[in-house]
Structure 1
């Protein structure tokens, strides 16, 4: 209903020559237009418009001669058959199921390319017929309007420009009134449903065009300048291909349009796809799997890095604990003492006046360590030496932990006293080391201790007896 009201409003502002509302019949209905075509001058042109409200659509054709044969009329749907029958059909409006179909009639002679591109029918011998084909019953409105030769029959849509009575459309917009919107196929990554694409030959960087899909697709492909009808031969393939020869011919057809009309046209192919499933470019699918592969590899490498960092950190903590543990063990087995204390307990060590590692002399307050082989070194010098060597710098005796522990003497149990206060060694170990510590390098009492200078004997006290 809205489309019919819109048509009535549009026709009210023009020069209406004929308008009739009627019921369609099954088959062909013919309307002679000879009286309008014969009286048409060069300054005017006719617009024949068919408006319908039903979801099902009839087809309008303008022919030079009357056409009553249904089978022959149906051949107009085939590519180029309209030329042979001297008929012009608004294919695009029919395919897109527009409510209105319209064709322009003029006395001017023009090439077939221009005629099909702008839906213009050139009248010959003042003979013309409006033929309507229907396969259902519906209410139709047939309107014939006269307009100036330099006026556009409709308002150009989508920023189209009306020039010399024709619509000059921007790139990506099709139809004689620029109302068909298409998308750049180079910017498309998948196909789904009914879609209209254009391929701009000016920006095409290859001699031919080829798209490889991941599965077969139904599509039509035409040079828009050579055949602007969207209804063309249906192809089904997993490859959309346009040869270099076809591209060259399309550019030539576009130039023919430009020369005749002096308007700007775009060399382009129109590709229409129709599919119920989502079909992707094979290249994108390969890229998708490549991305997954790369992402998986990167995730694996990242995982290895995380594991490596974690293990490195744990190993560092372990080594630090081992260093602390070894340092404590080292301190227990070969404790650091002042040289004076060592020389007091071991007079024979007084002959060692220099550290054989750094070759510097000992002082009374020098902090030294004595090995189990009774050699004396600076404490820090021996620590540094033991990091890389487990032998004595002088005699090459083994200084590893196991050997040292096996040589360490265990305190004799005979040194325990009865009062339960522990051994004499334990009691005397409380004295400062610089006062003559009782702890030698092997943990036993030293004969040269200032406390004990001779053999120590512990005897039971005699009981007091009255005589």
Structure 2
């Protein structure tokens, strides 16, 4: 095992080629062709140009160019790193120029550009330009590495797999907790709603993140200085939704930005809807925060549910309570009504049964009424329910299916009575009722002896008139039929005479 490690180190050392880009190189004004895969470059002039040419077998591979700076250090690398396809023959367009904007804006020590497979052929040339923008710079020392792989390379291998986990299919680093940026190189503090971050010292730049959960759709972020140095601190705050093209927010790209110049605090409502659930990372995307200061400053950060969302939660909770209470009240009232109806039904049935079993009480009540049992049977005889329904007078009427006195449904064989006003009741129920009230329980038509007698005579007279009308109509039909028969005989005779005397 030790031998294998030593052998690998020797191969790497032997494969590393040293290049010096100085004034003598600048005078040639030509790009240096790269034949090896790794170089250590010492650049002492502002511009350096290289190029390499892939082979035909490389067309289905990712071409990756990495710069790892040994000097200057992270945050001080002020240059522009780009790759242009076929720059020498002037056939390149904007889509043929590739940048690492994330590393350029953050002045990162590690920079990477990747070119997708099947976007080039063996005749294409790729030109690498390293342009130092720093005014008073010293030598730039960096490693230049060119690799050709079947899978996409994660930036800086996610800190050599110490700071995150690489998704080789997409070339994306899933950073471990407390690390952010495309290559997980920035250490960040987590901001939660449980407790604020206080007395945070900002020397140059510090990074923070807020991990969204499923419940919150927006939050309010509060920032402030712990002292009164807001006039000289130069604190600036940049906020960005996590994405995998731009690592952390900065002056050049952010979704929210503001400063604490001339004020000691600031509040901002942040919409969390753009932070979607990432299936590859198995978590919601994060809200990234960068705070920079020209001079050292102490700050605090606090995250809370926004007022509008809090009010909405309160309102929705109250609505739910109101709905549940209303449903409970309706159910309680329904239960009370059902109990009352059942009690009334049972009471009436018991009263009817009591009256039937105690005829002496009925006799006492009848003494107070103008009706007797014989009169009730005479004017409103007992019949079975189905027999009453067969009467012609009830064919076109809307017949009730329950007795209005005891509120029980009629059975087909139930013994009932019907009133002259054409209402049906149980026989005993109607008898008990009219002994007290002498009227119809449903329409209140008087049912005393005198009224019953008049109604009966009126019904008989009406029936007699209807009988006379039917007899008269019958006679008219006989006369009409006789005339028709006579006319038919006359026509037959005329036809017969015409046939004999043509």
Band the TM-score falls in, shorter-chain normalisation:
0.3 to 0.5
The higher radius of gyration belongs to 1
Structure 2 length-normalised TM? 0.39
Name which structure has the greater RCO, CA cutoff 8 Å, separation 6+.
1
Structure 1 length-normalised TM? 0.42
